[in-house]
Structure 1
Amino acid sequence: MTIYESDLPGVGKKFEVELEDGKRLVIVTHNTGKREVFLKPNADADGDKLFDLSDRLARTVGTILEGAYFQPVQTEQVETMLGDETYLEWYGVTDESDFAGQRLAEANIRERTGVSIVAIQRDDELISPPTPETVIEVGDTLVVIGDREDCAEFEELLGDGYVGE
């Protein structure tokens, strides 16, 4: 996927996102915060306006698309980059996981990998922040924060299809 960015003097910025079928999604961000979204059938064609959003609504829709409101867990692993080196990732706990049935304090995840479990999604309940006494249960989704290397170490520690695989 390629994204083209260009300045629109006096207006704001334009981003064109190449889609798999050759079409382009065009997002114009005005200096006022307003966003306009267009769809172009190809790079050289004019775009058809799909919709526009206020700054506040665009930010809300963006967080929904990013996964902050609802994170589907059908995928094996989900990650969100929070900064240059910080990731937020979701891992599902299976019945084969070594951590299933352990308290966070017993699992020693932070000491062993460097990541922190910042939340646990359990059915319709969000445990945030979990305490050292919180028990990791089969079916939980662990929300983990750490740098790329620590997340990779966490994933390796949980390897063999235990979590996130």
Structure 2
Amino acid sequence: MTIYESDLPGVGKKFEVELEGDERLVIVTHNTGKREVYFKANEDADSDKLFELPDRLARTVGTILEGAYFQPVKSDQVETMLSDETFIEWFNVADDSELVGQTLGEANIREEIGVSIVAIQRDGDVIAPPGPETAIEAGDTLVVVGDQEDCTEFEALLGSDDRQ
């Protein structure tokens, strides 16, 4: 998949995403935050406007599309890229994880591994941000921020196949 990015002086940025064949999805992000979404049948075709979204709604739709609200198919990994090197990842805590029963302060994860636990999903609730006194429980989903290498190291600490 190729994404073409171009500046639109005084307007914002335009992104063209190659789809199947020669089709393209065109997204114009205005400096005001508004997004316009177009479809092009091929590289040389005129764009047909599909819809327009204000900034806040566009961000909500984006998080739905990336799977932050709902994962229809269990996958080995859920990650959101914040930058080229920083990710948000979700990890499930197994019953036999060595972290079960430890507080975040006791586990010392940020200092030892380099990732930060920014939220914990537990029994339909979200603890955000969790404090150092927050205990890790079996069945928790830990929302972690870090670079790919540190996230992989954290996954190894939890045990195999614990990413959601």
Partner of residue 120, structure 2: 120
Separation in 1, partners of 2:132, 2:32: 46
Partner of residue 146, structure 1: 146
After TM superposition, list the pairs within 5 Å mapping 1:5-16 onto structure 2: 5-8=5-8, 11-16=11-16
Separation in 2, partners of 1:118, 1:32: 29
1:12–1:29 Cα contact (<8 Å) kept: yes
With the length of structure 1 as denominator, give the TM-score of the two structures: 0.78
Task: Give the superposition deviation at 1:16.
Answer: 0.8
* Contiguous gaps of at least 5 residues in structure 2: none
Partner of residue 106, structure 2: 106
Separation in 1, partners of 2:9, 2:116: 44
Letter paired with 2:163: G
Task: Give the superposition deviation at 1:21.
Answer: 5.2
* Cα 1:31–1:158 shift into 2, 3 Å: closer
Residues 103-150 of structure 1 deviation map (CA, whole Å, 9 limit, x = unaligned)? 323333223312121210112211122233322122211011223332
SS at match of 2:45: coil
- Root-mean-square deviation (CA, aligned residues, Å) is 2.8
With the length of structure 2 as denominator, give the TM-score of the two structures: 0.78
Partner of residue 130, structure 2: 130
Partner of residue 90, structure 1: 90
Identity of aligned residues (%): 72
Separation in 2, partners of 1:113, 1:9: 42
* Cα 1:19–1:97 shift into 2, 3 Å: farther
* Contiguous gaps of at least 5 residues in structure 1: none
After TM superposition, list the pairs within 5 Å mapping 1:48-59 onto structure 2: 48-59=48-59
Partner of residue 19, structure 1: 19
